[in-house]
């Protein structure tokens, strides 16, 4: 088969049936007038020949080759360009350089070990390619290993599959049309190849069953096609050649009988080959194991011949010479191990060739160096046949499946050969030969199911179920397994209620036919629990899992791998319930079992490592969590092809850890890699893609990129609504994410609308009092708190608390989160003692559930510190802040952004205590930590810059102070939408600097900008607006614009009285400010009234010697004297 490919052409033949591919790459090859001659000559050597003129297309094709070896021809001019990118690939076997000036390119031979030589004429080139391909076919050997001390790994399954196929082929009935079908297919494949077509014609005319060895030894089309099919376990091809494989086995058995009648009791034969390092290492690491050659093994009685062949010059410098020394005990094994002396059929009878049949297994005894050669000693055995029989019996016991033909098709599925399994069962359905049609239909559905073709799979499952139910008597027990698979499809489609119905019906049927504790019942209990877990019905799910575990611990040894699966599931439930230590205990038990049961890189272990990582992440043990997730990723990258969907899941988990650590760029990169994989493997609107989009949206929200975050969250919502309208859990989650982003943007009314949509959906679909409802109630409460609607906010928080305290009867960290939210509301209301009580309740829960240095505990300590700060109990406040900081230092030894927040809070206290130098030091330490954690100009720097600016302003270093505040302003204007409330805070700081310098016009300008933002941001009023009004009042007062100043003070007072109780310090200050204006306007009576109202409040709130009480009392005496 030949194709010529240029820059714009498409590839012609899509599949090579042989083991070798010849590729010629040269951008100028089409200019050669003798190209047709070149094609013809190459095709006489190798059927599959491809010409490329485009470098990237050529490399892409080479990289796509998995099951063939490539013999590459290229020009000296192009060699370095292409070889630097592909010479290391295992599929590249040999490289040939074709050019005019040989000496110009001889340096390439030293650079690339796979180069055979440099050629200047086509004849010599073709001769060399023929020699190398002939040598390849004589040396090619693929093998599969089986370890009896491990369970059914992929390699062991392939080992069994190979022997099982050989067993089945031997039992297939004669098919008169098999030969005709094979000849027709081969003739189509070799169309245009005159040499092979001549062989095919001769085979059609003269082949007889007793000639099978003779035709195999010709090394023509049938030799090449059969051997490649055997090496690659290509079931389609092998089935096509079934009549020839049977004939060849019969011929070998016939010749073997002759050997039994000879005088020989034992026979030692040798096979010399050259292995690349990867194949050699695979052998070296598996001494003592069973080996199955994927094909007919040819060996020689002559030891020296094998050594000569192993050492034969190959020009390549990257191969290792190996000789297999195989001992055959003729007397002991007799008819169990089939091999035959085929010297009489060979072109080289002096080799004294022996050919082993497919059923022969070899035990790898030892490997030793013998001069330049590695000598590998093996014994021929029939253990492979016995292992296959044991496997058949095991499957028959577990599945009650008697048919070996169906067992074989199921094993293909187990190997991941879903297309081949489907095709096999479809062909079996066409010619069932008394096989169970219902089971055939079921297995077609099963293959389709594994391929992700759910609807087609379900159709076949239903056909099989109908067939079973409508027989006499109905096959109720068998049909239960079909219902299980239908339930699994519905489960994957998130049709949980319908899936649960199928699973429960299955359980009902199984309990009718099997005793309690039967493994099929256990499996179904796990299925039901899995659905309930997805529905967040954790108590019910845990009950089913516990039932399952109890049965498994009776039925299986304590360390059986199925117990590990259930332990993992129970761990998941406990993790969902926030019982992270208990969850970890179950996960660790599961891991211990799996590490004993599986090799260290087994894919099942990856999921458990993943679970442990998630649980540690929930406990904020991020470095430990990252280690487990990385181990899981390493296993998946080893076991799966690049870009496998489970690799994407690991990348997503690692992204989440980096997100939690606030390493947003790292997180974003991992999420993007995960998204790329999911988009490759899944439809564009798949639910897994939606999850990653949400995660990316969360990253962008943390980075204050709110509009971009909303775009991702909306994409996720749209996808979830399209993918499955009943997937209300994820839809509600998307609605909440959008709401939370709008909340952070300051769009509170819109945020509440989305939260309300989520709440409505949850209340409709969840049972009353479900814990997810509490989460949404908390979010609504948080938004109302931001809007200063404290009474409404408190109501929502209390509703959430009521649900959580009922749901988590033994307490839970989520309750602590809600208690902190309530404490925050009460703090905002100035109800400091009540607030403190809630914070302390939260602290008590967190200290119960977390280790002593957990960051959530530090957060609550910081909240308590804020209470004492606002009560002006600065020593206590500082003490709590310091406790929080010490905890953070232990939890984050390398530093963390949360520590910067605490340092800034201590700095704020020190400024209030007029310890400006110390305050400056804390704010500067905070900034240094932020700069360590984030890139230059990050939005979080603004608070530290403002803190430094305030401390410098207090020290009267106005120019420096103003620079820091303006630096903060520049950052905020970059990251925040225009008019964000944090910008108003910085404008206020700049205004204060001008104010303190007596630059009232500049100060007034900045104060008014701040007021404008705050009034827009808080249209219904806010304490911060009152502060802005007071600040403007001070400026106007200093400008002697008393009437205007008093108007601003009055507006501030009205707002304080609206949001605070009547006895609040800010209310008293406002009365005092108004009194000062009245006094300056020479209105003593009005001034006196305001001073008295201020003093009444001060006397209630402040100690007797406080300056405000003293000064107000003096003001009253002074004004009184003027009346």
- H and E: helices and strands count for the chain: 51, 15
Task: Assess if residue 87 is contained within a domain.
Answer: yes
Number of domains in the chain: 2
Asked if residue 121 and residue 159 are part of one domain, the reply reads no
What is the structure's pLDDT at 32? 52
Q: How remote is the C-alpha of 1120 from its chain's centroid?
A: 78
CA distances from 124 to 118, 128, 588, 933 (A): 10, 6, 64, 65
Residue 273: CB atoms within 10 Å: 19
Cβ atoms of 118 and 107 within 8 Å: the answer is no
pLDDT one-digit tens code per residue, 681-703: 666 556 778 889 999 999 999 88
Task: Assess if residue 717 is contained within a domain.
Answer: no
- At 14, list the tokens: 């899509």
Q: What is the mean pLDDT of residues 543-556?
A: 89
Task: Assess if residue 1097 is contained within a domain.
Answer: no
Q: Which of 230-239, 348-357, 502-511, 1085-1094 has the lowest mean pLDDT?
A: 230-239
What SS3 state is found at 138?
helix
Asked if residue 199 and residue 233 are part of one domain, the reply reads yes
Residue of 721 and 712 predicted with greater confidence? 712
Q: What is the mean pLDDT of residues 138-164?
A: 65
- Is the pLDDT at 940 greater than 50, yes or no? yes
- Is the pLDDT at 726 greater than 80, yes or no? no
- Dist. CA 1083–CA 1119, nearest whole Å: 9
Domain boundary among 109, 139, 169: 139
Per the structure, the complete domain to which residue 76 belongs is given by: 2-139
Asked if residue 53 and residue 202 are part of one domain, the reply reads no
Residue corresponding to tokens 């099963």 = 446
Residue of 717 and 238 predicted with greater confidence? 717
- Is the pLDDT at 9 greater than 60, yes or no? no
Domain boundary among 119, 139, 159: 139
pLDDT tier at 773, thresholds 50, 70, 90: very high
Cβ atoms of 183 and 629 within 8 Å: the answer is no
For the chain, the farthest-separated pair of C-alpha atoms sits apart, in whole angstroms, at: 142
Quote the pTM value.
0.57
- Is the pLDDT at 13 greater than 50, yes or no? no
What SS3 state is found at 325?
strand
Asked if residue 224 and residue 89 are part of one domain, the reply reads no
CB within 8 Å of 808: residues ≥ 6 apart: 577, 578, 771, 814, 815
What is the structure's pLDDT at 517? 78
Task: Assess if residue 280 is contained within a domain.
Answer: yes
Q: What is the CATH number of the domain that holds 23?
A: 3.40.50.2300
Task: Assess if residue 1118 is contained within a domain.
Answer: no
pLDDT one-digit tens code per residue, 648-665: 899 999 999 998 887 888
- Angle (CA) 213 214 220, round 5°: 105
Instruction: Assess whether the previous peptide bond of 753 is cis (omega < 30° from 0).
Output: no
pLDDT tier at 172, thresholds 50, 70, 90: low
Task: Assess if residue 1084 is contained within a domain.
Answer: no
pLDDT tier at 293, thresholds 50, 70, 90: confident
Asked if residue 331 and residue 183 are part of one domain, the reply reads yes
Asked if residue 205 and residue 298 are part of one domain, the reply reads yes
pLDDT tier at 143, thresholds 50, 70, 90: confident
What is the structure's pLDDT at 10? 27
Asked if residue 114 and residue 219 are part of one domain, the reply reads no
- Dist. CA 722–CA 298, nearest whole Å: 59
pLDDT one-digit tens code per residue, 87-125: 989 899 999 999 988 888 989 888 898 999 999 998 899
Residue 551: CB atoms within 10 Å: 18
Asked if residue 293 and residue 164 are part of one domain, the reply reads yes
Cβ atoms of 88 and 95 within 8 Å: the answer is no
Asked if residue 226 and residue 119 are part of one domain, the reply reads no
Residue of 113 and 1048 predicted with greater confidence? 1048
What SS3 state is found at 558?
coil
CA distances from 290 to 360, 589, 874 (A): 11, 32, 76
In 3D, which of 139, 175, 128, 193 has the Cα closest to residue 19?
Answer: 139
In 3D, which of 733, 661, 651 has the Cα closest to residue 690?
Answer: 733
CB within 8 Å of 885: residues ≥ 6 apart: 858, 899, 902, 903, 906
- Dist. CA 1005–CA 1026, nearest whole Å: 17
Kindly state the helix (H) or strand (E) to which residue 327 belongs, with its residue range. strand 319-329
Kindly state the helix (H) or strand (E) to which residue 376 belongs, with its residue range. strand 373-381
What is the structure's pLDDT at 599? 61
Asked if residue 14 and residue 105 are part of one domain, the reply reads yes
What is the structure's pLDDT at 12? 32
- Dist. CA 951–CA 931, nearest whole Å: 19
- At 871, list the tokens: 């009560």
Pairing status of strand 298-300 against strand 373-381: unpaired
What is the structure's pLDDT at 645? 80
Asked if residue 111 and residue 226 are part of one domain, the reply reads no
Terminal-residue alpha carbon distance, the chain: 117
- At 330, list the tokens: 């003729």
Q: What is the mean pLDDT of residues 578-592?
A: 91
Residue of 314 and 141 predicted with greater confidence? 141
Quick one: CA torsion of 887, 889, 890, 891, rounded to 10 degrees?
Answer: 80
* Backbone angles phi and psi of 1043, in degrees to 5: -65, -45
Asked if residue 156 and residue 129 are part of one domain, the reply reads no
Residue corresponding to tokens 């007793």 = 210
Task: Assess if residue 14 is contained within a domain.
Answer: yes
Q: List % helix, strand, coil for the chain (3-state, nearest 5).
A: 70, 10, 25
Q: What is the CATH number of the domain that holds 274?
A: 3.90.176.10
- Dist. CA 1115–CA 1123, nearest whole Å: 13
Residue of 28 and 820 predicted with greater confidence? 820
Ramachandran region, residue 609 (left: φ > 0; alpha: ψ -120 to 50; beta: rest):
alpha
pLDDT tier at 622, thresholds 50, 70, 90: confident
pLDDT tier at 452, thresholds 50, 70, 90: confident
Domain boundary among 387, 403, 424: 387
Task: Assess if residue 970 is contained within a domain.
Answer: no
Residue of 391 and 256 predicted with greater confidence? 256
pLDDT one-digit tens code per residue, 46-72: 888 999 989 999 998 998 888 889 999
CA distances from 379 to 17, 285, 314, 885 (A): 32, 18, 29, 69
- Is the pLDDT at 777 greater than 80, yes or no? yes
């Amino acid at each position: 088969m030949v194709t010529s490919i240029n820059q714009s052409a498409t590839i012609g033949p899509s599949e090579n049936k042989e083991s070798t591919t010849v590729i010629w790459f040269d951008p100028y090859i089409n200019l050669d007038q003798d190209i047709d001659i070149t094609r013809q000559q190459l095709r006489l050597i190798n059927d599959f020949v491809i010409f490329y003129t485009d470098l990237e297309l050529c490399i892409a094709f080479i990289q796509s080759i998995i099951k063939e070896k490539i013999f590459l021809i290229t020009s000296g001019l192009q060699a370095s360009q292409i070889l630097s990118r592909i010479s290391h690939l295992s599929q590249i076997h040999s490289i040939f350089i074709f050019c005019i000036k040989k000496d110009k390119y001889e340096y390439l031979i030293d650079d690339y070990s796979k180069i055979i030589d440099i050629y200047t004429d086509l004849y010599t080139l073709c001769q060399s390619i023929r020699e190398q391909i002939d040598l390849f076919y004589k040396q090619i050997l693929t093998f599969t290993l089986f370890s009896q001390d491990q369970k059914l790994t992929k390699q062991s399954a392939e080992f069994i599959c190979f022997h099982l196929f050989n067993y089945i082929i031997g039992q297939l009935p004669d098919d008169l049309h098999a030969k005709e079908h094979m000849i027709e297919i081969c003739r189509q494949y070799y169309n245009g190849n005159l040499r092979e077509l001549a062989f095919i014609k001769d085979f059609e005319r003269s082949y007889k069953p007793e000639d099978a060895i003779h035709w195999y030894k010709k090394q023509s089309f049938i030799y090449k096609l059969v051997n490649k099919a055997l090496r690659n376990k290509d079931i389609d091809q092998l089935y096509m050649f079934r009549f020839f494989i049977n004939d060849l086995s019969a011929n070998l058995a016939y010749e073997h009988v002759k050997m039994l009648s000879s005088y020989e009791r034992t026979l030692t034969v040798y096979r010399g080959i050259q292995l690349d390092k990867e194949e050699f290492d695979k052998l070296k690491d598996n001494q003592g194991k069973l080996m199955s050659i994927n094909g007919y093994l040819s060996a020689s009685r002559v030891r020296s011949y094998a050594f000569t062949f192993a050492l034969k010059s190959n020009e390549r410098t990257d191969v290792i010479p190996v000789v297999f020394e195989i001992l055959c005990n003729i007397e002991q094994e007799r008819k169990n191990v089939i091999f035959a002396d085929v010297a009489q059929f060979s072109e080289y009878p002096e080799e004294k060739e022996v050919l082993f049949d497919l059923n022969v297994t070899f035990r790898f005894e030892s490997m030793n160096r013998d001069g330049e050669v590695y000598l590998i000693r093996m014994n021929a055995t029939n253990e492979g046949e016995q292992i296959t029989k044991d496997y058949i019996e095991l499957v028959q016991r577990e599945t009650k499946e008697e048919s070996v033909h169906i067992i074989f098709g199921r094993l293909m599925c187990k190997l991941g050969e879903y297309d081949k399994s489907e095709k096999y069962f479809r062909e079996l359905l066409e010619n069932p030969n008394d096989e169970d049609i219902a089971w055939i239909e079921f297995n077609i559905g099963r293959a389709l199911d594994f391929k992700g073709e759910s609807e087609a799979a379900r159709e076949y499952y239903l056909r099989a179920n109908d067939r079973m139910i409508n027989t006499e008597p109905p096959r109720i027990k068998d049909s239960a397994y079909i219902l299980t698979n239908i339930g699994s499809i519905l489960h994957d489609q998130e049709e949980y209620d319908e899936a649960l119905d199928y699973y429960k019906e299955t359980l009902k049927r199984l309990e009718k036919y099997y005793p309690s504790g039967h493994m099929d019942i256990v499996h179904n209990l796990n299925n039901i629990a899995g659905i309930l877990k997805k529905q967040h019905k954790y108590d019910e799910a845990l009950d089913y899992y516990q039932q399952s575990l109890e049965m498994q611990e009776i039925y299986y040894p304590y360390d059986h791998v199925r117990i590990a699966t259930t332990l993992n599931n129970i761990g998941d439930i406990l993790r969902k319930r926030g019982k992270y230590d208990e969850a970890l205990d179950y996960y660790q038990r599961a891991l211990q079992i799996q590490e004993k049961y599986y090799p260290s890189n087994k894919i099942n272990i990856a999921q458990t490592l993943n679970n442990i990582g998630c649980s540690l992440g929930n406990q904020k043990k991020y470095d430990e969590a990252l280690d487990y997730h990385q181990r899981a990723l390493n296993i998946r990258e080893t076991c799966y092809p690049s870009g496998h969907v489970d690799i994407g899941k690991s990348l997503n988990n690692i992204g989440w850890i980096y997100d939690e650590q606030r390493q947003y760029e790292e997180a974003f990169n991992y999420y993007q890699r995960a998204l790329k994989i999911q988009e490759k493997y899944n439809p564009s609107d798949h639910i897994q893609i939606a999850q990653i989009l949400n995660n990316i949206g969360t990253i962008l929200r943390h980075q204050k990129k709110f509009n971009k975050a909303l775009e991702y969250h909306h994409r996720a919502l749209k996808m979830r609504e399209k993918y499955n309208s009943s997937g209300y859990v994820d839809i509600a989650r998307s609605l909440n994410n959008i709401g939370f982003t709008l909340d952070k943007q300051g769009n509170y009314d819109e945020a509440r609308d989305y939260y309300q949509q989520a709440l409505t959906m949850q209340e409709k679909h969840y049972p009353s009092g479900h814990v997810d409802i509490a989460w949404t109630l908390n979010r609504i409460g948080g938004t109302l708190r931001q809007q200063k609607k404290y009474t409404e906010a408190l109501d929502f928080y209390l509703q959430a608390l009521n649900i959580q305290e009922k749901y988590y009867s033994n307490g839970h960290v989520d309750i602590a989160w809600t208690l902190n939210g309530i404490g925050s509301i009460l703090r905002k209301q100035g109800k400091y003692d009540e607030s403190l009580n809630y914070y302390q309740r939260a602290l008590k829960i967190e200290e119960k559930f977390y280790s002593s240095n957990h960051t959530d505990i530090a957060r609550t300590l910081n909240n308590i510190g804020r209470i004492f700060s606002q009560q002006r109990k600065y020593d206590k406040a500082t003490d709590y802040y310091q406790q929080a900081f010490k905890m953070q230092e232990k939890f984050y030894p390398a530093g963390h952004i949360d520590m910067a927040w605490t340092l800034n809070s201590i700095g704020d206290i020190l400024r209030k205590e007029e310890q400006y130098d110390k305050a400056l030091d804390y704010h500067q330490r905070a900034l240094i930590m932020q700069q360590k954690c984030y890139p230059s100009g990050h939005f979080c720097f603004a608070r530290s810059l403002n803190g430094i600016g305030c401390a410098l302003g207090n020290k009267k270093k106005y120019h420096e102070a103003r620079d820091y505040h303006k630096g903060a302003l520049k950052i905020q204007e970059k990251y925040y939408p225009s008019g964000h409330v944090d910008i108003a805070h910085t404008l206020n700081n700049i205004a204060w600097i001008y104010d303190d310098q007596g630059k009232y016009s500049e100060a007034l300008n900045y104060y008014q900008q701040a007021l404008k933002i705050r009034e827009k941001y808080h249209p219904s009023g806010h304490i911060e607006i009152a502060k802005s009004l007071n600040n403007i009042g001070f400026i106007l007062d200093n400008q002697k614009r008393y009437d205007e100043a008093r108007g601003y003070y009055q507006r501030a007072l009205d707002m304080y009285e609206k949001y605070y109780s009547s006895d609040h310090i800010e209310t008293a200050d406002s009365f005092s400010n108004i009194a000062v204006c009245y006094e300056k306007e020479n209105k003593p009576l009005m001034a006196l009234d305001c001073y008295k109202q201020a003093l009444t409040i001060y006397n209630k709130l402040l100690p007797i010697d406080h300056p405000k009480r003293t000064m107000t009392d003096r003001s009253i005496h002074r004004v009184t004297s003027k009346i």
